[in-house]
Amino acid sequence: MHAAVVTAHETPPVYAEHPEPVARGEHEMVVDVLAAGLHHLTRAKADGTHYSAAGVFPLVPGADGVVRDPSGRLRYAVLDDTRHGTFAERTVIDVRRSVVLPDDVDPVRIAAAMNPGMSSWVALRRRVTFRAGQRVLVLGATGNAGRMAVQIAKRFGAAQVLAAGRDTARLGTLPGLGADRALTFDEIAAAADVDVVLDFVWGAPAADAMLALLTARADRSAPLTWIQIGSMAGEAAPVPSAVLRAARLRIVGSGIGSVPPRDFIEELPELAKAVTGGAIEVRARAVPLAQVTRAWSETTGERLVLVP
């Protein structure tokens, strides 16, 4: 069997022969992989920068994917603590961490969308009591996950969605996806009175944005929930102590650990339905698994999906 194999944190995966996976647990099964997204999470787990990285080599990366089970059914499956991921011709899944998909879905589309879409979907469902009519700021809205967050917030009934990012060209496309206003980071004070921030950025830019928002807020006693999801600008943010004392600010994280696995799994069917039904725009490009080394470091506005 062929797979993408990582032998050290500092090196990208290479396409190589790898032993066949073996199902050992009661709920495990060997499946054929049809499509697996090359997500930021997958890279971070492999290079050791994600807090859930195992650090055991060799490993096959790939945190999720669309697979075909032994009975011929299509499934979207999530893998967590494993050395044998979805960047392979076959892998092992825990059937309890999967959902059955319709036979006519596009595996590449599903593989591209579920991981980035899940980040904001689960944050709004499970980390905050979000109500229709609330206002949302998406910080880092020009990436794949941020673009989907704009659409998901609108789908959940947000009265206003403001989208902030650095890429002005990509910002210009966000009103077409439901953003009521697109902002650069220099204009972030215009979002001062939102109720929820979905933060895919963190680092110093997030801390600066937090201070600008709270300084311009009309009513600092009004609750603001800041949901930390991604850290594209840095793992640490120098948050001034004053923002915690001078405003009714609550900072929470959303990710592996802060959300129980069962909660993620319970949200998968509805998200999959939204993606397959075309309710969420997905930018995906299929890449042969044999080209994984080149694709690993490629920068693109599309979500790359590896296809064995």
Per-residue pLDDT band for 204 (boundaries 50, 70, 90) equals very high
Mean pLDDT of 173-187: 96
- Please report, rounded to a whole number, the percentage of residues in the chain having pLDDT higher than 90: 80
Nearest to residue 140, comparing CAs of 107, 116, 110, 176?
A: 116
Structure tokens that stand for 144 in this block: 């794949």
| pLDDT per position as a tens digit, 134-152 | 999 999 999 999 999 999 9
Q: Is the pLDDT of residue 82 over 90?
A: no
pLDDT given for residue 52 in this prediction: 62
pLDDT for 28 equals: 95
Q: Which residue has the tokens 């129980």?
A: 260
Which residues, in sequence order, are bridge partners of residue 141? none
Question: What is the rounded CA–CA span in Å between residue 165 and residue 170?
Answer: 8
Mean pLDDT of 75-92: 90
Cα separation, 279 vs 260, whole angstroms: 26
Residues with Cβ < 8 Å from 7, sequence gap 6 or more?
14, 57, 58
Helix, strand, coil share of the chain (percent; to 5): 35, 25, 40
Q: What proportion of the chain, given as a percentage, has pLDDT over 70?
A: 97
What pLDDT is stored for residue 56 in this prediction? 78
Residue 23 has pLDDT above 80, yes or no: yes
What whole-number distance in Å separates Cα of residue 24 and Cα of residue 28? 6
pLDDT of residue 107: 97
Strand partners, 287: 306
The Cα–Cα gap between 144 and 281 comes to 10
Between the two ends of the chain, the Cα-to-Cα distance in Å is: 10
Mean of all residue pLDDT scores within the chain: 93
- Phi, psi dihedrals of residue 79, rounded to the nearest 5°: -115, 145
pLDDT at 55: 67
Q: What is the pLDDT of residue 256?
A: 83
Look at residues 107, 99, 104 and name the one whose alpha carbon lies nearest to residue 77.
Answer: 99
Is residue 302 pLDDT above 90, yes or no?
A: no
Does pLDDT of 8 surpass 70?
A: yes
In order of 83, 149, 174, 275, the CA distances from 156 in angstroms are 36, 10, 17, 14
- Name which residue leads in pLDDT, 257 or 33: 33
Beta strand pairing call for 28-37 and 90-94: antiparallel
Where is average pLDDT lowest: 51-60, 103-112, 187-196, 252-261? 51-60
Inter-residue contact 31 to 90 (CB < 8 Å): yes
What is the DSSP secondary-structure string of 50-65?
STT----SSBB--SEE
**DSSP per-residue codes, 186-233:** GGGGGGTT-SEEEES--HHHHHHHHHHHHHH-S-TTS-EEEEE---TT
**Domain architecture of the chain: domains with CATH:** 2-115+260-307 (3.90.180.10), 128-253 (3.40.50.720)
Average pLDDT of the residues in 87-93: 97
DSSP string, 153-190: HHHTT-SEEEEE-S-HHHHTTGGGGT-SEEE-GGGGGG
